[in-house]
Amino acid sequence: MSLYQAPVDDMQFVLFDVFKAPKFWQGNAKLAQLIDCETAAAIIEESAKITATTIAPNSREADEQGVKFDNGVVTTPQSYKQSYNIIAEGGWTGLTGDSQAGGMGMPKSLGVMFDEMLCSADLSFSLYVGLTSAAALTLSSHGSDELKTTYLSNLYSGQWSGTMCLTESHAGTDLGLIHTKATPNDDGSYNLTGTKIFITAGEHDLTENIIHLVLAKLPDAPAGTRGISLFLVPKFHVDEQGSLGERNNVSCGSVEHKMGIHASATCVMNFDGAKGYMIGEPNRGLACMFTMMNYERLSMGSQGLGCAERSYQNALAYAKDRLQGKGLGSKNEKADSIMVHADVRRMLLNMKSLIEAGRAFNTYVAINLDKAAYADNDDDKQNFGAMAAMLTPIAKAFVTDMGLDICVTGQQIFGGHGYIREWGQEQLVRDVRISQIYEGTNGIQALDLIGRKVMGDKGKTATALFDEIDAFIKSFGEEDVSQGLSGMLGEKVIMMRIVTDMLIEKIMNRPDDAGGASVEYLHMMGYLLYGYMWLKIIKAAHEKDEGLYENKMKTAEFYFFKVMCTMHSLKRSVLAGSRMLYLHDVDGF
């Protein structure tokens, strides 16, 4: 496996030049006190150093060692303890955490860069850090002052870690079916009883305490999702002074044996009257959890993108070095590198064009989240929040779908060497596969996009997005430095408007058409948004540097002519409806 080097220059270009994030930061009273361009650049560079030198070199060995389970005790790979301590000591678990509670207070648009680097370095390791940040975000947003005072600072410092306990063996997507019960005690606490499965980092040896966020139902709770409450359940009790006490009645029953992310502890967690504390209001637990989900699902996109970047770096290094065959017209006596072959170049450019657009898109989503979080008025908060909410399922599903494709493509460039352990490509394929499944499968994300986000406001937010893209296209004016690509994107915007309007009408008449078209519609939106990102990249590169502009322009041309054209076939599938999906009865399958 080649050495991972974080794409620092491209990250800084996207953040500083494409989206001009420092201008937004300095225009916001709270952010201006915490971050500027120099601080952000230093954070990116230090992130790159830590992930490349401390974490990435150990990813293969950690995968081979995996996690060990013995009578409720989970042991992580040998390198993880030291790596985690370095991350914790550097304050990285609290990078985007509330600065008043011990976090660094950085915006998500910067945090998403660190997320990508961590996922490139070692996806399994990144989960221990990511789940803690997610748990802290939920607690910070909805916890009582007492809970925040007791738990937040130690989560931000990495001294303690966090989990999300949602899934049960019979209740995956449909959380309304959960059985875990929470019985109230006289002192305001609750006793939780039930079993949760697929709990990432549910038990491990990296921190002295683990703080579980658990969905459960009160005895008198309404049926379905309306009756779910959220509770904080510590592995070890914490006294009023913040010191650890006795072990709580929560234990790990087993760990899963998985296709990938072998070094991530995926646990069955048993709550046997475990003492917990409610977060937020009774029966409003799902709403509390969804505060975190927009951020966490964007982190899924970072997982897909991070593995894709590592795959591209590996494949590019191999293609330049591997001598095999000769190019047409070659006069070399010996074989040429496989870089001369059109198909290898096609695969590499496909990877490159999707990765660079994906990085810009993830940043775009994060900036919308930041603008919603730091808005000075209710209208901006609502509008940016709605846009971020609509973009979130695309970030989760499209970026991870492309992530798997890119990892498989990188493996293909290696040929037979990509299928064996030595080169690391098969690990990336195994690891990235989970990103399409957990935190809501990509099919569920597609249903969420069309059913809740587009149909929910009758296309209002989607129309606002299309208007935004059209306005940007017009900004090129007479000096079209996009060399005609802006016009091509304009045609795709028209296509998306028509498809969206037609699909809304079809679904109102035949609700099954939502499920029949949802995945293809999400992919259409993804390809359109990547085209939008490429226009932004081109314009920023033209303003910054001629050599950079030429390189970006060449990649953008490949994307527009060889990749984005996929939208045409997707359109036909979307508008075909769902009738043919229901022609067979069950026995016909």
Which residues are part of the catalytic machinery? Answer: 439
The number of beta carbons lying within 10 Å of the beta carbon of residue 333 is 6
| Contact in structure between 47 and 113 (CB atoms under 8 Å) | yes
Q: Is 192 within 8 Å of 241 (Cβ atoms)? A: no
Q: Find tokens 């800084």 and name the residue.
A: 12
Nearest to 299 by CA among 354, 374, 365: 365
**Amino acid letter, residue 556:** A
CB 247 within 8 A of CB 274: no
DSSP category for residue 323: B
177's tokens: 């079916």
- Cβ neighbors of 573 (< 8 A, separation 6 or more) are 517, 520
Contact status, residue 112 vs residue 302, Cβ threshold 8 Å: yes
- According to DSSP, the β-strands at 73-75 and 68-70 are antiparallel
Contact (CB, 8 A) for 362 and 392: no
Structure tokens at 558: 């490949």
- Nearest one of 370, 384, 363, 479 to 13, comparing CA atoms: 363
In the chain, what is the straight-line distance between the N-terminal and C-terminal CA atoms, in Å?
43
User: What is the identity of the amino acid at 305?
Assistant: L
Token representation of residue 585: 């009865």
Q: Torsion-angle region of residue 231: left (phi > 0), alpha (psi -120 to 50) or beta?
A: beta
List the helix and strand counts (H, then E) for the chain.
Answer: 19, 11
Q: How many C-beta neighbours within 10 Å does residue 187 have?
A: 7
What residues contact 240, with CB distance under 8 A and at least 6 apart? Answer: none
Classify the C-alpha dihedral 101-74-72-246 as positive or negative: negative
Q: Residue 264, SS3? A: coil
Q: 């201008």: which residue's tokens?
A: 23
562: which residues sit within 8 A by CB, 6+ positions away?
346, 349, 350
Contact 312, 358 (CB under 8 A): no
